[in-house]
Amino acid sequence: MSFKENLVRGRSQLIFIAGLLSASVVILAVDDVSESLRAAPAGTPSAQAPAVMAKADSVSEKIAAIEPMKLAALRPLTEKEMTQAKIAWRYFQNNTDKNTLLVNAANNYPSTTIWDTGSYLIGLISAYRLGIIEDVEFHGRLNGALVSLDTMELFEGRLPNKAYDVRTLKMSTYANKPDPRGLGWSALDVAHFLVPMSYIMRNYPEHAKDVRKLLTKWDLAALVQEGDMFGTAVRDDKTVFRQEGRVGYEQYGAKAMMLFGLDAVDAAKAERNLTFQMVGDVAVPVDDRKLGNGSASFATSEPYVLDGLDFGFDSTSLRLASNVYRAQEQRYRDTGQFTAVSEGHISVKPYFTYSTVWGGGDPWAVMRLDGSRMDELRSISTKAAFGWDALFGTDYTKALVASLDDLADPEKGWMEGRFEADGSPNGSLSCNTNAIILASLAYKQFGPLMRHQMGS
């Protein structure tokens, strides 16, 4: 066998080691970036940035031309913020199955995904760090969830299915009907779940063995191929693989996978598939690839908010996030309409949409993954508002969060948002939104989740 062939064969082993090392470097590096920018002088975005970007020849130069936002200073929560966090925790008190100790993805709807389970665990960790729950409840919930996860069915015996019945742990359709064949797995969903798994292993050693036992059963290596993330779907009863992730989501997922030594190094590079679309006078980062249905990719708040809350920004993700945020603040300044867009549940059909800064070829599009448009359902996202406020803490984000005060139900949790068209509440309640609110409030006091993992 030639030297070259040996190198190719050894790629996965070399990448496993390199991934572990680079993951540690990434976390330490984003910590340095975060702290230096917290200490940076306050200021408004440079008005020259769009002109500088227009002159830049390469994508890397365009990214470098974006002035990074200053990060909010860390501080203890106010009494009002602690109340906000307790209201978010109420969702989980109401929606935990008493037998499996897993949580409904939406209020009173006994279905979940591995993404939502990851969100629940981050919410649980956040509630514990904030002192909302005590040791007994935290460790009891965590132990019960890990035991249940260890016993649930896997798609083709390899990785978690895209949906489960919370009560039975059986694979289901998105309509929560039993589905013995399964829908396939989502690489991005699993990646999000790996974030709390990594945190738990490093901070709660009494649960580390259960995490290792669980993940040993999962074929994590199947999530990546030649540096890219791949999920599966079932078509004509056959399992088909397809690349997952677009700019923002892809880099967030890659960071999570690299924590476990997976070869997601290429997926971590936003520059590979990055273009910019002008929304007003802000250059918004958008993936230059199409979605699976052939429609244009989109940019929205969630992956950037999660990247900042969970990992802390690196120099590239901070610049990209800064312009995704700036476009939303600028829309408010231009129109007087509070703007915070993200994916999420809505209280009317089709019940889940992607509200974007740019999508489907237009600014402020509201769409589904099949490319269909429903801009009349644009809403102000509660989780995006809390996330941006935790990360940047501007006068605008403070006013934005305050404008949503009436969406807090002390008996149920935080609603998803408010419809722009008539100002009525988007009354859906979800695991993901209430988890992000908890994570955002924990960030205000402690900083990025994974920085704490490194011993700070």
Closest by Cα among 429, 437, 328 to 380: 328
Q: Provide, for the chain, the percentages of residues in helix, strand and coil under a 3-state DSSP scheme, each rounded to the nearest 5.
A: 50, 15, 35
Determine the average pLDDT of the residues in 432-442: 98
At 53 the pLDDT is: 65
Query: Quick one: pLDDT band at residue 456, thresholds 50, 70, 90?
Result: very low
Residue 266 has pLDDT above 90, yes or no: yes
Determine the average pLDDT of the residues in 224-245: 96
Determine the average pLDDT of the residues in 14-22: 44
Residue 35 has pLDDT above 70, yes or no: no
Determine the average pLDDT of the residues in 192-210: 97
Query: Quick one: pLDDT band at residue 11, thresholds 50, 70, 90?
Result: very low
Residue 432 has pLDDT above 70, yes or no: yes
At 151 the pLDDT is: 97
d(CA 77, CA 193): 27
Per-residue tokens: 264: 């997601």
Query: Quick one: pLDDT band at residue 36, thresholds 50, 70, 90?
Result: low
d(CA 417, CA 397): 15
Structure confidence by residue, pLDDT tens digits, 60-110: 999 999 999 999 999 999 999 999 999 999 999 999 999 999 999 999 999
Structure confidence by residue, pLDDT tens digits, 438-449: 999 999 999 999
Per-residue tokens: 215: 């993940």
Residue 423 has pLDDT above 60, yes or no: yes
Query: Quick one: pLDDT band at residue 9, thresholds 50, 70, 90?
Result: very low
Residue 5 has pLDDT above 60, yes or no: no
Structure confidence by residue, pLDDT tens digits, 274-325: 999 999 999 999 999 987 666 668 999 999 999 999 999 999 999 999 999 9
List domains and CATH numbers for the chain. 3-453 (1.50.10.140)
pTM: 0.91
Three-state SS annotation for 145-208:
HHHHHHHCCEECCCEECCCEECCCCCEECCCCCECCCCCCCCHHHHHHHHHHHHHHHHHCHHHH
Structure confidence by residue, pLDDT tens digits, 320-344: 999 999 999 999 999 999 999 999 9
- Whether the CB-CB separation of 413 and 87 falls below 8 Å is answered with yes
At 162 the pLDDT is: 98
Determine the average pLDDT of the residues in 15-34: 48
Structure confidence by residue, pLDDT tens digits, 358-408: 998 999 999 998 889 999 999 999 999 999 999 999 999 999 999 999 999
- 293 vs 161, 345, 368, 370, CA distance in Å? 22, 21, 11, 6
Query: Quick one: pLDDT band at residue 50, thresholds 50, 70, 90?
Result: low
